[in-house]
Structure 1
């Protein structure tokens, strides 16, 4: 699985002009299931994200996790993280998991993150979403399990 994490002051997601998810201080996470991924990879990624020390401690150093700071997460499905741009000018997405598997693994990731103490809200899998965020730092991390 692939993910892009952004440390945010706030973030929200809307579908058809209606807000369906938000987070206060915490993480906005774009996540993509890849061909060959399984529930174990989703669980591994959630465990890593929940422990990743990218929040400031009292000394101003990135030394605390989202759990440590009591942050929350907005998790958005993002199949375009599977883009292959090695040929031509149009990206290919054949490395992304099929939609049914991608949706399942996206849901497992969100559930596992919540089970590790991170309040989670989500977007709508497969929908045309509008995402707004205020990146804190800015801190943006790319991960793969």
Structure 2
């Protein structure tokens, strides 16, 4: 499981020119799954996201969590995070989890974040989307479950 997490002042996702979801201050999370992912990994990563202290406190240190700032999450599936250009210039996506299982895991990940008390908005799984955001910082983290577990 890979995540790209960006601190944002606001973000939205559109599909076919229609606004699907939008958030104010919080996280834009791009998420992808691979064959070795499990429900246990999803829960551990969601818990890790819930505890990240990546927002500035009054002294300018990254000491506040998403809950501390009453932030929101915009979660967008992005299978290309597991794209590999190791053997050529055209990305290979053989590491990506199959569509149906990835969709199931994406929805479970979002539900797990909700169960942890977060306001979670979503993109549309598997669709071509346009994402607009205002980065805060910028502050971007990449979380790879294989490095954490």
Q: The TM-score by the shorter chain falls in which range?
A: over 0.9
Q: Following the alignment from structure 1 to structure 2, what is the Cα–Cα distance between the partners of residues 39 and 9?
A: 30
Unaligned runs of 5+ in 2: none
Q: Following the alignment from structure 1 to structure 2, what is the Cα–Cα distance between the partners of residues 97 and 59?
A: 42
Q: Following the alignment from structure 1 to structure 2, what is the Cα–Cα distance between the partners of residues 70 and 117?
A: 10
Q: Following the alignment from structure 2 to structure 1, what is the Cα–Cα distance between the partners of residues 139 and 114?
A: 22
Is residue 2:83 matched to residue 1:79?
no
Tell me the C-alpha RMSD between the 2 structures: 0.7
- Once the two structures are TM-superposed, the CA of residue 144 in structure 1 deviates from its matched residue by 1.3
TM-score (norm 1): 0.98
Alignment of 1:34-49 (within 5 A): 34-49=34-49
Q: What's 2:112 paired with?
A: 112
Q: Following the alignment from structure 1 to structure 2, what is the Cα–Cα distance between the partners of residues 62 and 43?
A: 24
Give CA deviations for 1:58-99 in whole Å, capped at 9, x if unaligned.
Answer: 111001111111100000000000011111100101101000
Is residue 2:141 matched to residue 1:141?
yes
Q: Following the alignment from structure 1 to structure 2, what is the Cα–Cα distance between the partners of residues 46 and 16?
A: 29
- Once the two structures are TM-superposed, the CA of residue 12 in structure 1 deviates from its matched residue by 0.2
Q: What's 1:65 paired with?
A: 65
**106-115 or 3-12, which moves further after superposition?**
106-115
Q: What's 1:6 paired with?
A: 6
Q: What's 2:130 paired with?
A: 130
Q: What's 2:31 paired with?
A: 31
SS of aligned partner of 2:143: strand
- Once the two structures are TM-superposed, the CA of residue 117 in structure 1 deviates from its matched residue by 1.5
- Once the two structures are TM-superposed, the CA of residue 42 in structure 1 deviates from its matched residue by 1.1
SS of aligned partner of 1:54: strand
- Once the two structures are TM-superposed, the CA of residue 44 in structure 1 deviates from its matched residue by 1.0
What count of residue pairs does the alignment treat as equivalent? 145
